[in-house]
Structure 1
Amino acid sequence: MSAAAHPFRLDGKRALVTGAGRGIGRAIARALAEAGAEVTLCARSAAEIGAEAEALRDAGHRAEALEADVTDIAGFAARVAARPAFDIFVNNAGTNRPKPLAEVTPADYDAVLGLNLRAAVFAAQAVTARMIAAGQGGVVINMSSQMGHVGAAGRTLYCASKWGLEGFTKALAVELAPHGIRVNTICPTFVETPMTEPMFRDERFRAEVLSRIPLGRIGQVADIAGAAVFLASGAATLMTGSAMMLDGGWTAL
């Protein structure tokens, strides 16, 4: 069957997913592998990505683990340069330190902006340089947030990083379009992951979040993984410079 007959298949494609040790990143890596891609799971947590890569291989998929810290700009670039060009890059590694601005420290700023924006920019630089050199086109999916489109108390740093990532994505999409490289963002609402689990122990916080989501439920990692497969696939060949809102209607209010 032709690729057109199966537009969501990723057979023959190589994908790199950062922050793939747990949560959204791990779910996306698994979904890409199940769609036929050869997946490289990247994170600092060697044990986690190693176990997940092994589980994927045991299930008949193609997967490998790449231990790397995306905040080590030169180190990550060297690891990418040592490999064949990837077709798909999911720029997913991220963090958050929610607190009122009055309590924000320079260390908080460096941690959040350093990973969510600085590292994301230079990770994209490293991966797309290989795509361009190979002349094969490609797909970049930057993991953003609904907070890249709205504001929220206690999330000044996170919003700053994600609004910055949205602007970066639009500019990069224009810059790389002549090379056949598409660049988009995924913008989830709150998703139940190991990172958010402590926050959701607070029933008042959970209730406040749910009150802002018209669909009436918190996101699950599977909600995000399916969107990544779509953006990576032939079904999205005319989509670049766009933000895919997976927010249950939060930003529609």
Structure 2
Amino acid sequence: MEKRVILVTGAGGGIGAAMCAEIANAETALVMCDHADGAPLQEAADAARAKSADVAVALGDLVDPETPARLVAEAINRFGRLDGVVSNAGIAGPGWLDQVTLDDWEQVFAVNLRACWLLARASFEHLQMSNGAFIATASVSGMAPQHGMGLYNLTKSGVIMLGQTLAQEWGQFGIRVNTISPGFIRSPLTEATYADPEKHAARAALVPYGRIGTPADIAKGVHWLLSEDADYVTGHNLVIDGGFSGTVNRQIGAVPRTST
């Protein structure tokens, strides 16, 4: 039986590595993409191989507009088909919008939004042949702005709308398109924040479910969206945040529970 082929960008650590570990099995071939080779990417690839997946590693800087199409071409050259694409690579780009530079703007938009669109465009004909799925990592910051993270907010909002638009345009071709929006996640990218016990506790207190998320929490959602169980799910932004994004009214306090 022919293996299904999944391409994942930002696969070298954190959420991307967890996605690959979750997806990996004997029936799957993974194309794990990152901007540079190194121990984290190789460790993630070895973890996927340990679960009997075929693994190819592809490198490229997504600031370069030629990279997304090249990554797709490498996947096709290696495995001959493409069943799923996960556009996961992203950068934070913090800063107040009146203080960021034009170079900052162009870099964050290039990696977070333009590369996502270019990856989708390059994979379209291959996903059409396989009735495949395209998933992009957005954020709850794309749903409601995070103070001082203007570029990140804007690009992640764009990713959500890109996914919804592609779902409308590509449904007729049998391609499902969804986005996934993580909330507070402890990963290598955010370790500096969560290593501080006070900051960790303060953020966890904002989450109704009572804890900070893990990369594995996000990976499970992506695995489901790629699976046949989600065959009728498209145009959806799957929020995985322990209930955090629904807490705006918690700021005004709760109505006390009545005793029974």
Return the TM-score normalized by structure 1. 0.88
Structure 1 unaligned blocks of 5 or more: 1-10
Of 41, 47, 63, which residue of structure 2 is paired with 1:71? 63
Q: SS in structure 2 opposite 1:46? A: coil
Of 178, 184, 188, which residue of structure 1 is paired with 2:178? 184
Contact 1:86–1:131 (CA under 8 A) maintained in structure 2: yes
Query: How far apart in 2 are the matches of 1:23 and 1:252?
Result: 25
What is the CA-CA distance between 1:103 and the residue it aligns to?
A: 2.7
What is the CA-CA distance between 1:17 and the residue it aligns to?
A: 0.4
What is the CA-CA distance between 1:20 and the residue it aligns to?
A: 0.1
My pick for the range that moved more, 36-45 or 199-208, is 199-208
Count of aligned pairs: 242
Structure 2 letter corresponding to 1:70: L
Q: Map 1:109-188; keep pairs closer than 5 Å.
A: 109-132=105-128, 135-188=129-182
What is the CA-CA distance between 1:183 and the residue it aligns to?
A: 0.3
CA distance change for structure 1 residues 168 and 59 in 2, over 3 Å: closer, same or farther? Answer: closer
Q: Map 1:8-23; keep pairs closer than 5 Å.
A: 12-23=3-14
Structure 2 letter corresponding to 1:37: T
Query: How far apart in 2 are the matches of 1:111 and 1:195?
Result: 18
Structure 1 letter corresponding to 2:31: T
Question: How large is the RMSD of aligned CA atoms in angstroms?
Answer: 2.0
Of 218, 229, 232, which residue of structure 2 is paired with 1:224? 218
Query: How far apart in 1 are the matches of 2:155 and 2:42?
Result: 29
Contact 1:89–1:141 (CA under 8 A) maintained in structure 2: yes
Structure 2 unaligned blocks of 5 or more: 248-260
Structure 2 letter corresponding to 1:65: V
Q: SS in structure 2 opposite 1:228? A: helix
What is the CA-CA distance between 1:122 and the residue it aligns to?
A: 0.7
Contact 1:35–1:229 (CA under 8 A) maintained in structure 2: no
State the structure with more CA Rg.
2
Of 16, 20, 44, which residue of structure 2 is paired with 1:29? 20
Structure 1 letter corresponding to 2:166: L
Query: How far apart in 2 are the matches of 1:33 and 1:66?
Result: 17
My pick for the range that moved more, 174-183 or 48-57, is 48-57
Q: SS in structure 1 opposite 2:223? A: helix
